[in-house]
């Protein structure tokens, strides 16, 4: 059974523990700027929304890569970037409609969520369960659209 990250923005407090865990797991430093998950702050509304690669079925990043450096991980379903193949051309960053594929200036390669090989540290670090790792059938684009339209309940204070 494939699993996916489920994000429930109404539970997010903006603590950035997910970003810290991700950057430490993937880069060996506690630095949100190096995280593959980001927390967007809606200042005027006082709410936060974590976002990362949704591991799209269509995977425009994968199809756009001219050197086939993005592959499907059979075990997790994640679209993984093969560092040894990536040439850092950034075509995938342009192809991603969600802006979740980023260029790492330190390595000269692109980075994106790979679900930590099936053990996503962002979900483990989230103190409010705003990020969980669940059966992939329980997440999806329809849920994201519903939240964006304001049709999902917000956490009460």
Closest CA to 108 of 80, 71, 73, 81: 81
Write out pLDDT tens, residues 6-46. Answer: 999 999 999 999 999 999 999 999 999 999 999 999 988 88
Q: Residue 111's pLDDT is what?
A: 97
CATH dotted code for 3-148 = 3.30.70.20
pTM score of the predicted model: 0.84
pLDDT at 137 over 90: no
| pLDDT tens by residue, 55-67 | 999 999 999 999 9
Q: Is the pLDDT of residue 156 over 50?
A: no
Where do the H-state alpha helices sit in the chain?
Answer: 17-27, 60-64, 91-95, 121-125, 141-148
Q: With cut-offs at 50, 70 and 90, classify the pLDDT of residue 95.
A: very high
What are the backbone dihedrals phi and psi of residue 43, each rounded to the nearest 5 degrees, phi first?
A: -50, -50
As a whole number, mean pLDDT of residues 87-106 equals 96
Which range (25-29, 86-90, 136-140) has the least confidence?
Answer: 136-140
Cβ neighbours of residue 127 closer than 8 Å, sequence gap 6 or more? 13, 15, 17
Domain boundaries defined on the chain: 3-148
Q: Is the pLDDT of residue 155 over 90?
A: no
């Amino acid at each position: 059974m494939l699993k996916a990250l489920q994000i429930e923005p109404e539970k997010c407090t903006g603590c950035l523990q997910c970003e810290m865990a991700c950057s430490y797991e993937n880069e060996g430093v506690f630095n949100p700027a190096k995280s593959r998950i980001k927390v967007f702050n809606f200042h005027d509304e006082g709410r936060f929304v974590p976002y990362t690669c949704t591991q799209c079925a269509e995977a425009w990043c994968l199809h756009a890569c001219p050197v086939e450096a993005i592959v499907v991980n059979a075990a997790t379903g994640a679209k993984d970037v093969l560092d040894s193949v990536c040439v850092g051309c950034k075509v995938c960053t342009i192809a991603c409609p969600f802006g979740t594929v980023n260029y790492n200036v330190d390595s000269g390669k692109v980075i994106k969520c790979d679900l930590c090989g099936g053990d996503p540290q962002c979900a483990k670090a989230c103190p409010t369960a705003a990020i969980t790792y669940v059966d992939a059938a329980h997440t999806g684009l329809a849920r994201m659209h519903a939240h964006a339209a304001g049709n999902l309940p917000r956490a009460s204070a």
